[in-house]
Amino acid sequence: MKSSKQQLKDLKLVRKVFGIILILVGIAGIVLPILPGWILIFIGLGLLGIQIYYVELAKKYVKEKLKRKN
């Protein structure tokens, strides 16, 4: 049985990998009409933003830009 520290490390790794995959699929979705690209990118950034400070800053920047456009 794994210790709780090892389980936490595994969870962080899975979250990072899944976030990166969602971002890459989202980028492909911008070009392909089938996939909702921006939504996947934001979900991927959300997963990575939990652990990566600069991703959190990028999310805030994009939210401010979207608010200004509306």
- Token pair recorded at residue 34: 């089938």
User: Contact at 8 Å (CB) between 49 and 59?
Assistant: yes
User: Contact at 8 Å (CB) between 38 and 30?
Assistant: yes
Each domain of the chain, given as residue ranges in start order, spans 9-69
Helix ranges (DSSP H) in 1-70: 4-31, 37-49, 53-69
User: Contact at 8 Å (CB) between 46 and 39?
Assistant: no
Distance CA(43)–CA(19), nearest Å, equals: 7
**Residue-by-residue pLDDT tens, the chain, 70 positions:** 677 778 778 888 888 889 889 989 988 888 888 878 888 888 888 887 766 677 677 778 888 877 876 6
